[in-house]
Amino acid sequence: MHGAIARTKRQGLHTAGKVVRQALTRYEQGDLAAAHRLCGQIGAEVPERADADHLLGLIANRRGDRWLAVDLIQRAISKDGRRPIWHANLGNLFRMLKRYDEASQALARALALDPKDAGAANTMGMLLEDMDRLSEAVEWYGRAVEADSSDAQFHYNLADAHRRLGHVRRAMLGYREVLKRSPDYIGAYINLSNLLYYQGLVPVATVIYRQALTRFPENHLILTNLGAAYIKEGQLTRGADCLRRAIANKPGYAPAYNNLAGVLQRQGNIKEAVACYRRSLVLDPRDRQNYSNLLFALHYDPNCTQVEIRRTAEIYWTQYRPEVPPEPPAFRTQGSRRLRIGYVSADFREHSVSYFFGPLLSAHDRQRFETFCYASIWRPDEITEALRQASDHWRDIRLLDASQAGQTIRDDGIDILIDLGGHTAENRLDVFAVQPAPVQITWLGYPGTIGIPPIAFRITDGVTDPIGMTEEHYTERLLRLPEIFLCYGPATGAPEVGPLPAQTHGAITFGSFNNLSKINAGVIGAWAAILQRVPDSRLLLKARPLADEATRRRYLTLFQEHGIEAHRIQMLPRTTTTAEHLACYHDVDIALDSFPYNGTTTTCEALWMGVPVITCWGERHAARVGGAILGQVGLGRLAAEDEAGYVEAAAGLAGDLEELAGLRAGLRQRMQESPLCDADGFARRFEAGLEKIWNSAILEREE
């Protein structure tokens, strides 16, 4: 009798096993209702079938009820605790519920049962990654890959963890392994291409993006990224076409609008660029960098007032200020110790900012000041290394969020933290928002107000920001340095000054190497008037976007509308090296500045190459830099009060070849002997300004 009962029980278990397999098939097909019904039938007839409980747990999780899933899988384990995958699934449920201790214990039991369980090792990696223990996560992902090298997801998780740790080469190799196993893994295409892009390997990134596009021809992410790569290569029209396709396929995708705005801005279409930036912010109002892009673009719009720019900057703060107001660190008693100065930038590399920051950093008085550079750089270069060597301390904050970077700065005990980027690309204003230093300042890299209260001061001078003229444009208090607010460090390896080209060509060549965003309708009108006043003269334009045929045609058309024939306009795209770029001034007699957004680096480079610059004063900081620079080398007379004076100054100088030749021969020496290139003198003035701010801040805190 007992044998018959045992046979019946075995038959029931066998039948139940078949039903569980049927339920599992239904589950994998997505028919959760049928799977649940079959498992319920088993539970009623053969309650000891633990696999039915486990499958019910999976069904509950798929339906979104994770706590029920936990209860069911725990019930399955209580009946049969020998299944590693059940413990692993329980651990993953606890991970998703952020019950990290329970998750760790469940995964440890799974791995104790089967140390080579690739799934459990992968989930342990995911758990550690959720806990921001990335280095440990990499180890576990590596174990998963070692246990099962065929699974593309395991390779992807390992590559992604390497990416987050900044292990760029290992991440790229990992993504390639993913694509070998799963050629349709879109995330691997996108992340691999993005890494290549940010490493400066844009042509290779473009190839990968295009490969991805053949598999996903309408994917808005790929189209957006491919568009960005084309833009980086100078193929602006192709880039814009990709971005417009992305917008057509995904009208609500903000990054496509933001990138399209960037193209339009490069081409000088500022009005359309601003409209696209605004649209991107409507779609994604929390994107801090997009808002910075909008703010920067407004400076190029000659019709945008400083009142509007300040108001927009103040709205930026209401959008992105921390939910909990930060508590600034206490002032440390100074005594005889050195002031600790921190500089924050994404431009510690071959960039305009470094030409003006490098001389100061090298000339700092190390007896009185201790310098810290907080670098957020994706593509370091030789200049990065030179700045690293010149600083007392170097911190890489590229992979740190605002809180982490802020804590690093607090731990360093920084007294004065200085922003060098403002609302430019890849800025770290988010770090300043958490107030990691008692005194915070903006200087150099951005021509307007930042608009955030934690940055209390702005360093400028009395020419670019005359007393009583521009204070209302800023939320910051202005510290005006004597002479000028910057110091130029010429590029090493600059070519020698060449002879005056007009003496060879028999005609004057005007030139502008400013970016096209600064060249508005008023500037083109003034340049056309100059060309009409000076017979047989020509204009040489040099800018990266001029590699694009449609952009060149646009500017030729704009000049032709003013009666200037195409043969009088020469256009050059970007050159490969700085030396090649500067050598192009050998073909320029007189440089024409842009307005109301003047050049800064371009003006200094022209003067260094012996080329005088004609500029035009305005009422905002960006419209006064050109005149301030010229004043430092004794050429203030070349800064006109208005457009008519600008045209007259250019035509007048063009008519005196003897004076032009004399200027060309002596300008470099003038610069070397002027405050503009006096690094030691500038450093002392700058340091005195910092001490003034520091002492006044201490007094205010004590009152």
List pLDDT tens digits, range 385-443.
999 999 999 999 998 999 999 999 999 999 999 999 999 999 999 999 999 999 999 99
Residue 701 banded pLDDT, cuts 50, 70, 90: confident
CATH superfamily, with its number, for domain 254-320:
Tetratricopeptide repeat domain (1.25.40.10)
pLDDT tens digits for range 37-62: 888 887 667 777 888 888 888 998 99
- Give the alpha-carbon dihedral of 628, 632, 633, 639, to 10 degrees: 20
Is 151 in a helix, a strand, or coil? Answer: coil
- Has domain 501-677 been given CATH number 3.40.50.300? no
pLDDT tens digits for range 218-229: 999 999 999 999
Fold match between domain 254-320 and domain 501-677? no
Encoding tokens for residue 569?
A: 């306009």
At 49 the pLDDT is 80
Q: How far apart are CA 693 and CA 683, in angstroms?
A: 15
Residue 5 banded pLDDT, cuts 50, 70, 90: very low
At 332 the pLDDT is 77
C-alpha to C-alpha distances, 123 to 27, 94, 126, 130, 636, nearest whole angstrom: 22, 11, 5, 10, 68
At 698 the pLDDT is 87
pLDDT (mean) for 618-630: 97
Residue 211 parent element (H or E): helix 202-215
Q: Domain 339-481, what fold? A: Rossmann fold (3.40.50)
**328: preceding bond cis by omega (within 30 degrees):** no
22 pLDDT more than 80 = yes
- 11 vs 271, residue with greater confidence: 271
- Give the Cα-Cα-Cα angle 234, 550, 217 (nearest 5 degrees): 65
At 46 the pLDDT is 72
Q: How far apart are CA 533 and CA 589, in angstroms?
A: 16
Domain ranges of the chain: 254-320, 339-481, 501-677
11 pLDDT more than 50 = no
Mean pLDDT lowest among 67-76, 173-182, 549-558, 584-593: 67-76
153 pLDDT more than 90 = yes
At 244 the pLDDT is 98
pLDDT tens digits for range 120-152: 999 999 999 999 999 999 999 999 999 999 999
Is 479 in a helix, a strand, or coil? Answer: strand
At 41 the pLDDT is 81
Read out DSSP for 636-665? GGGEESSHHHHHHHHHHHHT-HHHHHHHHH
Residue 1 banded pLDDT, cuts 50, 70, 90: very low
Q: Residues 416, 690: contact at Cβ < 8 Å?
A: yes
Encoding tokens for residue 511?
A: 């030139």
pTM: 0.87
Q: How far apart are CA 30 and CA 430, in angstroms?
A: 44
